Amino acid sequence: MIALWALVWGLLEALCIPPLPLGPLFPLVLAGMLLWVDDDTPGRAAKKGFLSGFVLQLGALHWIHNVMNVGPAATIALGLVLLFAYLAAFQALWTWLWVHCRRLGIPWAWPFLFLGIELVRGWGQMAFPWMHIGYDLGGYLPGLQGVAWTGVYGAGLIMAATAAVLALWKKGELPRRIWIVPALFWAMWWIGGALRWNSPGHPGKMRVAIIQPAIPQTRKWDENYFQTVMNRTWATIDRIHEKPDLWALPETAIPDLWSWRPDEVVKIQKLAARSNSPVVVGALEYLRNPAHPDSGHLRNSAFLVRPGERGERYDKLRLVPFSEHLPFDNILPALNQVKLGQSGFSAGESLSVWNTGIPWAPAICFEMVHADFPRLALAKGARAMVVVTNDGWFGNSLGPRQHWNIHRFHAVENGLSMVRAANTGISGATDHIGRVLARTEMMRDTALVVSVPEGPGSFYGYHGEWIDLLLWMLSAGALGMLAFRWVRQRPTAAAAGSPPR
């Protein structure tokens, strides 16, 4: 019976993740899960949480299996099982904490502990901030607007608190009409969001030519297929017959080291000179260590080539754990001897901000999933993000669509416009409210020009560092209260021969 209900709850959670439609109902789903584990022992609650969490990961992230088409299938399959188990452990933790909070008489502390789990999951070298519950608001623009004040973590805290109130109300432990409080709050949230969504748009100030060559990932890195890849990319570029302020090509549009492909670099320079417009293009680069010529750093980079120049380089700062780097390899150097696919990249050192009509910051793929990354860009003067990415690894699945929604979420959160050039899609642009200015279909080679406005920033964008610090402190305070109650009640429970309640 546990397995059946774990399947039900896990699938309901997965259906709340955009672009699937149930996102606004997540507090109700979460409240149902709290009631499901409410009368269990902590261990049994954790078991239920882990099983439903594993189903959630399987339902929401099943598309990662497409990587097996271009890599060692057995190794990737094992890695997927371990990834799903790792992420399911976070759900096991919050179900376990709910039961403890109930037994210790402090259920009000649980939303802050849930928040702490969200913060930890998005922090450090093992960060995988793909499944934050705040993202569930991103499928509907009126519901998304409030994150410009709260950020993704603040929205998650509000959703968890709503679920806790509803669960306690259902158990009869809160006044009968207490449901009116969250109902009024969310009504105001959505009405305010609708008003903001319908506000006049800002005029476009930068015309961007977005190139989506739709190169199959199974052939993209085949040396024998290189010239075919580039010919297809140039054929897509040739569809643009107007002058943009910026050309945007995807991540690793040149699927090799920049310095190893001078012929393609020259073509990029000629494109910039011919159109009198800069070109941003993704490629790899290898930087040798002057002190040790036999060693160096492999970088995933974006190059900005202005007319008459060779190019400025931005190196990706936030690498994908295990896929691009092995966590803690700086602490345990022996890990550098382990090779898992492309896991040999080094992170860059600083974020660039370039101006081609409006100031913008480049982001490469996974970087824009981190809540603080666009906030850093805003602090450095950017008013838009230009994301170059390659979601071809995941085929025509939910993965690229989830990625688009997360990128749009963080653009709205920080009050920035967004341009996205993806190899196989989704490419396009949004304004700072999340309104779609242009959007391509998946797996189709497409070239389009879109006029992008300057984002004004947002309250969270300017003050998010302090908001997140406050949330960390609230979470730590709740954990301290839980520990204090547990220690204080443990002697009493031991004397009575029963667990603390």
In tens, the pLDDT along 68-77 reads: 777 677 877 8
- Are 176 and 283 in a shared domain? no
Residue 392 lies in a domain: yes
Question: Is 501's pLDDT higher than 50?
Answer: no
Residues 120 and 95 both lie in one domain: yes
Check pLDDT > 80 for residue 494.
Answer: no
Backbone angles phi, psi at 376, to 5 degrees: -65, -40
> pLDDT tens-digit profile of 147-162?
999 999 999 999 999 9
| 456 occurs within a structural domain | no
Total number of domains in the chain: 2
| Residue 363 and residue 411 in one domain | yes
Could you tell me if 393 and 70 are in contact, meaning their C-beta atoms sit under 8 angstroms apart? yes
Assess whether pLDDT exceeds 90 at residue 344.
Answer: no
Evaluate if residue 341 carries a pLDDT over 50.
no
Q: Reply yes or no on whether the pLDDT at 295 is more than 90.
A: no
Q: Are 238 and 446 contacting, i.e. CB atoms less than 8 angstroms apart? A: no
Mean pLDDT (whole number) for 178-195: 97
If one compares 332 and 326, the residue with the highest pLDDT of the two is: 326
The residue to which tokens 């370039």 are assigned: 354
99 and 46 share a domain? yes
Q: 3 exposed, middle or buried (CB, 10 Å; 0-12, 13-18, 19+)?
A: exposed
Query: What are the pLDDT digits (tens) for 423-439?
Result: 999 999 999 999 999 99
Do the domain assignments include residue 134? yes
Residue 457 falls inside a structural domain: no
- Is the residue at 93 inside a domain? yes
Residues 155 and 270 in one domain: no
Q: Same domain, yes or no, for 252 and 268?
A: yes
In a domain, 458, yes or no: no
Residue 269 and residue 301 in one domain: yes
pLDDT in tens, 11-52: 999 999 999 999 999 999 999 999 999 999 999 999 999 999
Lowest-confidence range among 10-19, 222-231, 379-388, 434-443?
222-231
What local confidence, expressed as pLDDT, does residue 336 receive? 43
Model confidence at 296, pLDDT cuts 50, 70, 90, reads confident
148 found inside a domain: yes
Phi-psi region for residue 270, left (φ > 0), alpha (ψ -120 to 50) or beta? alpha
- CA distances 381 to 148, 202, 458, 461, Å, are 18, 18, 13, 11
**Residue 353 and residue 239 share a domain:** yes
Of 288-292, 346-350, 410-414, which one has max mean pLDDT?
410-414
Q: What is the extent of the structural domain holding 324?
A: 204-288+297-451
Decide if 501 is inside a domain.
Answer: no
The mean predicted confidence, pLDDT, of the chain is 92
252 and 116 within one domain: no
* Per-residue pLDDT, 489: 81
Is 427 in the same domain as 483?
no
Residues 254 and 355 in one domain: yes
β strands within 175-214, DSSP E: 204-212
Residues 278 and 416 in one domain: yes
Per-residue burial over 325-358, b if 16 or more Cβ lie within 10 Å, else e, is bbbebeeeeeeeeeebebbebbebeebbbbebbb
User: What share of the chain in percent tops pLDDT 70?
Assistant: 94
CATH number of the domain enclosing 424: 3.60.110.10
